[in-house]
A and B are shown apart, each in its own frame.
Chain A
Amino acid sequence: MLSTIDTARHDLASMTGPLAARRAMCGALFMQTSGKIPVPPNRQSENSRWTACITRIRDSSDEAAFAELFEHFAPRIKGYLMKSGAGATLAEECAQDVMATLWQKAHLFDPSRASAATWIFTIARNRRIDALRKSRRPEPEEVYWGPQESPDQADILAMEEAAVELTRAIAALPAKQKTLIEAAYFNDLSHSEIADQTGLPLGTIKSRIRLALDRLRHAMK
């Protein structure tokens, strides 16, 4: 587990710069939206559709909206959990549970802070840690922004655009880099465990992941 940690002392603070608190929550770094190429409407509408579904669940316990989200996300959550080492039965149970949590916590989703897919990923990841590793995952302190306001429409749009851009940038990664990023997220492997599996030197893995992150940053500028 030692080499899970990249001990290189990268002080990346200078890359993000001082951030206004609210902008900070919009996932800066990859999410700088200025000067971006317009996103094709069909790609963006997929994100908007999931956001709208979660809103309908929150506002009116809309079962059709739940069914739509389930159809798209539940099989992907199950696929994610199986890649992480869960058997089909456990993965299916957990995917159902993640979707039930989505219903239960729909009022906590803030589309200006994360895309629907990102929010669902965080729920699925936490469920995986709980189910497969039987350990807790402490969450950072909530940041209070004062009275609950509805998120700014421009922020939501910027977040959706950024999510589409990121998906495109990941798809455009060289295969060698993409495989390693996927292994880090999906296979529950530390860098040294990836090294054991692939036979690649640890340094190669770390530098490929670093290159992939640099490409993603560059694409999101």
Chain B
Amino acid sequence: MTDNIRHHLTDGLLMAYSAGSLPEAFNLTVAAHLSMCDSCRARLGAFDSVGGALLNGGERAEMSAGSMEAALAAARQRPRPAAAPRPRGTLPAPLIDYIGGNLDAVRWRPVGMGVRQAILPTDGDATARLLHIPAGAAVPDHGHRGTELTLVLQGAFADSTSRFAKGDIEIAGEDLNHTPIAETGDDCICLAATDAPLRFRGWIPRIAQPFLKI
């Protein structure tokens, strides 16, 4: 739990996460931020309450005869799950589920300029990837064809809009072109979700791009 998070989820994202209309990769990124951010989690509670009130006041579609007995019979077959303690580690629990372990279990692939990535398995509507950016390195200027959410898991980066540190989420739309630069100190590790196919190879020019050692 981090108290010094400065960049939070928008109402639009929280409402869509609560309503269940986000693609899986965005759900994962939102869930990872919520795991680190008390204030967004509290706001999510409010949006879930809206869903509860709408359900409670919503239209009925009558159930067929015997459906209650059938549900009860099914319920009685099921064991009551213990509140399973999830694996703890430096990463938020939802990410550990997707990686199948902590950072040491990530299967990184180099994508050039010292930057490494690992694509996480989600459904096809959007892509989630972990990015490892060496301290001081710049990710060359790139635009976005859709929406990109970037959650900082370790280290920090800055671009023309602001500085993003652990727990911060950057929400970039098609209008943003930016050159994120990882700060010196720790390497920067981020979770990035995009809803348009991102041509990562185009992102990183093949020609040598010197690291910005500050």
List 11 interface pairs A-B (beta carbons < 8 Å), by A numbering.
A5-B12, A13-B39, A19-B39, A21-B38, A25-B45, A26-B42, A76-B55, A80-B58, A125-B20, A140-B94, A185-B18
Residue pair B67, A74 in contact (C-beta under 8 Å): yes
* Bound complex: CA A154 to CA B197 (Å): 49
Whether A137 lies near B49 (C-beta < 8 A) is no
B residues less than 8 Å from A195 (CB atoms): none
State A38–B40 Cα separation when bound (angstroms).
Answer: 28
A21 contact from B1, B6, B21, Cβ within 8 A: B1
With an 8 Å Cβ cutoff, the count of chain B residues facing the other chain is: 84
Inter-chain contact B21/A128, CB cutoff 8 Å: no
| New A-B pairs, 18, CB < 8 Å, besides A77-B55, A103-B72, A163-B52 | A2-B196, A4-B22, A7-B172, A10-B10, A21-B1, A70-B67, A74-B63, A95-B63, A100-B78, A103-B75, A103-B76, A118-B51, A122-B51, A125-B19, A125-B51, A140-B34, A142-B93, A191-B12
Q: Is the CB of B42 within 8 A of A186?
A: no
| A126 at the B interface (CB under 8 A) | yes
Within the complex, what minimum Cβ distance (angstroms) separates B37 from chain A? 9
- Within 8 Å CB of B48, what residues of A? 27, 114, 118, 121-122
Interface residue tally for chain A (C-beta within 8 Å): 100
Q: Which of B35, B62, B68, B146 lies in contact with A141, CB distance below 8 A? A: B35
Interface: A157 (CB within 8 A): no
Nearest CB on A from B48, distance (A): 5
B105 within 8 A of A: no
Give B69-89 as 1s and 0s: 1 = Cβ < 8 Å from A's Cβ atoms: 011101110111101001000
Smallest CB-CB A-B distances: 3 pairs: A6-B12, A27-B45, A118-B52
Contact A129/B68 with A8-B10, A78-B63, A120-B55 known, Cβ cut-off 8 Å? no
Residues on B with C-beta less than 8 A from A7 are: 10, 12, 147, 171-173, 175
With both beta carbons as reference points, the residue of chain A lying nearest to B52 in the complex is identified as A118
Contact A2 B43 (CB under 8 A): no
* B16 partner residues in chain A, CB cutoff 8 A: 4-5, 184, 190
A95: chain B residues at CB < 8 Å are: 63, 67
Is B207 positioned at the interface, with any CB of A under 8 Å from its CB? no
With a cutoff of 8 Å between Cβ atoms, the chain A residues found around residue B143 in the complex are none
Question: Does B24 lie at the interface of the complex (its beta carbon under 8 Å from any beta carbon of A)?
Answer: yes
Q: Which residues of A contact B71 (CB under 8 A)?
A: 70, 74, 96-97, 99-100, 103
Contact flags A117-134 to B (C-beta < 8 A → 1, else 0): 111111011101100011
Tell me the minimal C-beta distance from A6 to chain B in angstroms.
Answer: 2
